[in-house]
Amino acid sequence: MNYYQHDSELISGFVSGDLKAVREIYDRFYRQICFYADSLIHNQPEAEDIAVESFLKLLQRKATIESVLQIKTFLFVVCRNACIDYLRREKRHETSHAEIRYLNQANTITNDIHAISAEVMQVIFEEIEHLPPQCREVFQLLFFKKYTTEQAATALQISPKTVLNQKAKAVHTLRIALLRRDLLSVAIAYLLNY
């Protein structure tokens, strides 16, 4: 829930330690930071821990914050550095070493792609939460749990045709949300790369 109409009010509340402002900043950026960390280290529980640690570091620096953009930049930089540290500690596979070298020499374009991908995922997660309950359940089973149409129908005790109808409705709703925010082409490009 957004308590603040303007970013300046939000920043003022955040700097003064207002819990509503802190919560709003957390809600606004947590999923993006989690997704960004997971895209770098490929370990969701660790990515969630890194995201929380990034927010704790932000809270320690809240007195120096002047804008929402500064918060976003700070979180992504701290998260990226924490991911590099995590990969260094792991050293289990040669791929970790390759990723560390890559991250140390990463160019701005690659980092922007991950940040945009995180933003796309944030929009998708927000829109999923607003789907009707059955539509949301169908989408989550098919796309997150990788159920087949038949498995989803059995799990939800509905017909396969209903599953397909709910899937089409969810995809249509998400497509419109991404179009509204000019993110559809970014989402398609992202999905084609994975």
pLDDT digits (tens, 9 = 90+) for 108-151: 555 655 666 677 677 777 777 888 888 888 888 887 788 899 99
Domain count, the chain: 2
pTM confidence score: 0.53
Range of the domain at 159: 108-194
Cβ distance 48 to 36 under 8 Å?
A: no
3-class DSSP assignment, residue 77: helix
Give the Cα separation of 34 and 21 in Å (integer): 20
Which residue, 106, 130, 165, sits at the end of a domain? 106
- 7-21: pLDDT as tens digits: 888 888 888 988 998
pLDDT reported for residue 116: 61
In this predicted structure, what is the pLDDT of residue 105? 61
Q: Which of 88, 106, 124 is the last residue of a domain?
A: 106
What is the CATH number for 97?
Answer: 1.10.1740.10
pLDDT at 100: 62
- How far is the C-alpha of 134 from the C-alpha of 160, rounded, in Å? 13
Token look-up 């932000």 returns: 58
pLDDT at position 3 over 80: no
Residues 147 and 194 in one domain: yes
